[in-house]
Structure 1
Amino acid sequence: MSSALIAGAEEGILVDTLITIDQVDGLAEWVRRFGKRITGVYITHGHQDHWIGLARLQEHFPDARGIATPEVVERARFEATNPGLSGYWRASFPGELPQTPVLPEPLTAAEFELEGHVLRAVSVGWGDTEHSTVLHIPSAAAVIGGDVVYNGVHMMTAETDEKTRDAWIASLDAVAALNPKIVVAGHKSVGAPDGPESIGASQQYLRDFSRIVNEGGGVEEIVAAMLELHSDRDNPRTLWHSARTAVAKRG
């Protein structure tokens, strides 16, 4: 997972949170080294692993207002109140999550500023979930990609089918059209460079996954074929989950 800091001369904005209290405490310690007043936390999409740490972050940075597009706020609210989804995360990290979730607040406009520099919330549509966004910082030629862009990590396709994976590929085209020199993926291998090549690599992964699923093999065959092509990616657990879901959707 990644959380990005956009720093001005005196103020800063974080993009996405980590999950557990210890992870967020470590993130806060890292952020403090920059000596910036954190005024906001932009949330790229509604999956809990990207916003559940907001409550803990605000204990460290009380001025940091959580913000997101209205659609992302609604998805976050659904995940916070759905027994199955909230129960999954609490079972995965027992005693390690904030007791009371804090949701981001809806943005009233797609653009906001950090010390005079424009930051743009770009609603691209499909990433690994619907209503995904990226944050574009034109003055830095940078995009913080959330889970639209993956970098060296197996991509979570469980919420998609072939049609929505094609829409996800189109979302990546929209990211490429911003001509970024810096692209920070929502899930990335440790030390992976934050370059624009991760856009095309994500598209190729999605094309490969759809093609292999359409060949009709079972879960083990899909995983084996994907690992043959993408053995250098981290977190194969996500690939197994995606393959099981794809086979189940065949009916």
Structure 2
Amino acid sequence: MPEVLNSDEILVDGQVVNLIHVGQGDVEGSTIVVAGHKSVGAADLSENLAASQRYLRDFTTLAKKGGTVEDLVHSMLELHGERDQPHTLWISARAEVARRARTAAIGQLRRTD
């Protein structure tokens, strides 16, 4: 459980660090857009944010179809081409297939009870 801070200082590796209150940046008049699923070096423009959203929607749609880790990765690569960080796609695909297997196993256990 996180602890409530009682001061504006914390100790990190034996050094005092002064905390700066900045508020919640994503709701206080932000003018910056950072698209997380874009190519390295691509500008942080609203078009890239839309492309990031499309990438995530496509992953969800393909994941719902089932299949193996390889099926999911190859289907995403067909839609979006090579990405700068393909290992992230592989990690996500593995996590999705594992989640699906856990869900199926739980469903099977419930049917046998």
TM-score range, shorter chain: 0.5 to 0.7
**RMSD in angstroms over aligned alpha carbons?**
3.1
Counterpart mapping for 1:1-251 below 5 A: 100=13, 105=19, 107=21, 110=23, 121-122=25-26, 136=30, 142-145=31-34, 149-153=35-39, 189-190=40-41, 192-250=42-100, 251=102
Q: Is the 8 A contact 2:62 2:72 kept in 1?
A: yes
Q: CA deviation at 1:193?
A: 2.2
Q: 1:238 to 1:100 in 2, by over 3 A?
A: farther
Runs of 5+ unmatched residues, structure 1: 1-73, 75-98, 111-119, 124-133, 137-141, 154-188
Q: CA deviation at 1:152?
A: 2.2
Q: Is the 8 A contact 1:135 1:144 kept in 2?
A: no
Q: Is the 8 A contact 1:219 1:243 kept in 2?
A: yes
**Aligned amino acid, residue 26 of structure 2:** V
Structure with a larger share of its residues in helix = 2
TM score, norm. by length of structure 1: 0.31
Partner secondary structure for residue 121 of structure 1: coil
Q: Is the 8 A contact 2:72 2:93 kept in 1?
A: yes
Q: CA deviation at 1:248?
A: 0.7
Taking the aligned partners of 1:151 and 1:249, their CA distance within structure 2 comes to: 22
Taking the aligned partners of 1:150 and 1:239, their CA distance within structure 2 comes to: 13
Aligned partner of 1:93 in structure 2 is none
Q: 1:104 to 1:197 in 2, by over 3 A?
A: farther
Q: Report % sequence identity.
A: 37
Q: Is the 8 A contact 2:69 2:94 kept in 1?
A: yes
Taking the aligned partners of 1:240 and 1:200, their CA distance within structure 2 comes to: 22
Q: Is the 8 A contact 2:33 2:45 kept in 1?
A: no
TM score, norm. by length of structure 2: 0.64
Aligned partner of 1:32 in structure 2 is none
Structure with a larger share of its residues in strand = 1
Taking the aligned partners of 2:76 and 2:52, their CA distance within structure 1 comes to: 13
Q: Which has the larger radius of gyration?
A: 2
Q: 1:223 to 1:194 in 2, by over 3 A?
A: same
Taking the aligned partners of 2:32 and 2:55, their CA distance within structure 1 comes to: 20
Q: Is the 8 A contact 1:152 1:232 kept in 2?
A: no
Q: 1:100 to 1:122 in 2, by over 3 A?
A: same
